[in-house]
Structure formats: C-alpha cells, structure tokens
C-alpha cells in the first residue's frame, strides 16, 4: 500500500476540520441554564430550533411535569428467587424491549425475591404507565400493558405516570417525536455510560393541544398499542402449540 504524501495528509486533516460543527452561545444562556453545563452538546442549536418551530406553529408548550409525575428509583442490591411463589417477575430495559416485541424476556423470566432489602412497592410498574430508558441508550419510551402490570422494573427506567387516565397514549407520542427527543438527549451526561435524570426529563417541553385533540390522539395510540398486544398474544399461542 502506498504511503500518503505530506500534501495528502494535510488535505485529509483539513477535510476533517471542515466537518466539525461549531456555533456561538450567548454567555447569558450559559449562566441561566439550570444544569450549569459547559459541554457543547447541551447547547446544540438544533434543540433550540426544534422547540422554536413548535412555538412558532402556535402550539403551546408545557413541561412534561404538568402532565405526569416523573420519578427514578434508587439503586439497590438484588436478591433473586427461583419462581413466582418466592418472588415477583423482574425486568430491565433489554427484557422490556423483548417482551414488547416478542412477548418473552430476552433471557427468560427472572424473579426478584421479596427478601430484597428495598421498598419493592416502589419498583412495581402499573398498566398505563410509560417507562423511559435513562442509562446507556437514552430516551427509548415504552408503554406498560396489562400483562406487565404488577411486575418490578430496574431502577434504570424512569417512571412516567400520567396525571389523567386519557393521557398515556398522547404522552407516548409526544415523547417520541424528534423535537422532544432532541431535548431529552441534550441532557445526556456521564463518563463511561450516558445518563439522564428524572428531574431533567420532567422539564422537557411537550405540545399542549386542545382536550378534544389530545383525546383523539390518545384513543388512536392506545388502540394501536392494544392491537400490538393482541398480535403478540396470538404469536405466543402459536409458539406454545408447536
């Protein structure tokens, strides 16, 4: 293989420099931000642009905390049980992805022992809640269906509990649109593993539409989520028959 000449190396270097994004940030924005952050990604202009476009459209924006309680459980040492008689079905983010796609946990069902030294009730998830990944992969949103009601979930999933019963489907959509996802990702922090906190997610701005519009969107989303549950149940029944 031929070695690059000095001129080729210099050209390659400047090509890379030209691809680096840069922008200016008013000093007031740095001192006024609640995170007290200095990393550039927190001030990514695409985040502000996406929020501005929503505002310019005439849609009112409100913090997620206006629509739901947003909480993150503390870490705890797990004690495993061998079956449901001695424990409660447990899931982490990977299990949840598999459960909502194929109907079964990725590594088989695990059970958290009731002897675990933590407030297990705080770990229980309920139908109609939303769960969001907050470590490693950030911002992935899940709806808790009836079949997972009463399970316990890892502390690495943010619990988003709608304040009204007819908001779950609507918030599910809001939290997955690019304008909101970009806000969530802008809060990413950490050294080896990326994280966001419940307080940060609670401040994310989401569209606040009319009651009729919210109801219409919510009903359509819940219908779609229920249809997916029916499809998964059918798939599981087929597997069991084989």
Sign of CA dihedral 78, 83, 87, 89: positive
At 4-53, the pLDDT tens digits run 666 665 566 556 555 667 767 677 766 666 665 666 666 666 777 777 77
- The answer to whether residue 33 sits within a structural domain is no
- pLDDT tens sequence for the chain (242 residues): 456 666 665 566 556 555 667 767 677 766 666 665 666 666 666 777 777 777 788 889 999 999 999 999 888 888 899 999 989 999 998 888 888 887 888 778 899 999 898 888 989 999 999 999 999 889 999 999 999 999 999 988 999 999 998 999 999 999 999 999 999 998 998 878 889 999 999 999 999 999 999 999 999 999 999 999 999 888 877 766 65
Q: Are 222 and 166 in contact (CB under 8 A)?
A: no
118 three-class SS: coil
Predicted TM-score (pTM) of the model is 0.81
At 140-153, the pLDDT tens digits run 999 999 999 999 99
Q: What CATH number does residue 104 fall under? A: 3.90.220.20
HSE (CB half, 13 Å, CA atoms) of 2?
5
Q: Given this model, what pLDDT does residue 218 score?
A: 97
Q: Given this model, what pLDDT does residue 235 score?
A: 81
Q: Given this model, what pLDDT does residue 16 score?
A: 55
- The answer to whether residue 30 sits within a structural domain is no
* CA 84 to chain centroid: 28
Q: Given this model, what pLDDT does residue 40 score?
A: 67
- The answer to whether residue 38 sits within a structural domain is no
- The answer to whether residue 88 sits within a structural domain is yes
- The answer to whether residue 43 sits within a structural domain is no
Compute how many other C-beta atoms are within 10 angstroms of the C-beta atom of residue 87.
21
Q: Are 187 and 196 in contact (CB under 8 A)?
A: yes
Domain of residue 191: give its range.
50-241
- The answer to whether residue 136 sits within a structural domain is yes
Number of domains in the chain: 1
DSSP secondary structure of 24-71 = ---HHHHHH-TT----GGGG-HHHHHHHHHHHHTT-EEEEGGGTEEEE
Q: Given this model, what pLDDT does residue 97 score?
A: 85
- The answer to whether residue 177 sits within a structural domain is yes
Q: Given this model, what pLDDT does residue 238 score?
A: 76
Q: Given this model, what pLDDT does residue 73 score?
A: 87
- The answer to whether residue 45 sits within a structural domain is no
């Amino acid at each position: 293989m031929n070695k690059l000449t000095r001129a080729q190396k210099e050209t390659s270097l400047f090509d890379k420099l030209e691809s680096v994004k840069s922008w200016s940030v008013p000093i007031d924005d740095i001192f006024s931000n609640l995170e007290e952050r200095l990393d550039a990604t927190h001030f990514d202009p695409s985040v502000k642009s996406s929020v501005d476009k929503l505002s310019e459209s005439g849609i009112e924006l409100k913090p997620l905390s206006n629509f739901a309680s947003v909480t993150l459980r503390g870490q705890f040492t797990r004690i495993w049980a061998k079956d449901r008689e001695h424990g409660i079905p447990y899931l982490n983010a990977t299990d949840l992805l598999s459960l909502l796609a194929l109907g079964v946990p990725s590594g088989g069902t695990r059970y958290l022992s009731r002897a675990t030294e933590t407030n297990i009730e705080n770990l229980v998830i309920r139908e109609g809640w939303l769960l969001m990944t907050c470590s490693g992969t950030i911002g992935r949103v899940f709806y808790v269906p009836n079949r997972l009601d009463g399970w316990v979930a890892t502390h690495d999933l943010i619990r988003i509990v709608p304040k009204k019963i007819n908001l779950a489907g609507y918030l599910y959509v809001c939290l997955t649109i690019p304008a909101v996802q970009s806000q969530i990702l802008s809060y990413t922090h950490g050294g080896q593993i990326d994280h966001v906190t419940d307080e940060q997610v609670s401040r994310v701005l989401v569209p606040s539409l009319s009651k009729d519009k919210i109801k219409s969107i919510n009903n359509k989303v819940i219908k779609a989520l229920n249809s997916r549950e029916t499809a998964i149940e059918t798939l599981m029944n087929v597997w069991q028959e084989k």
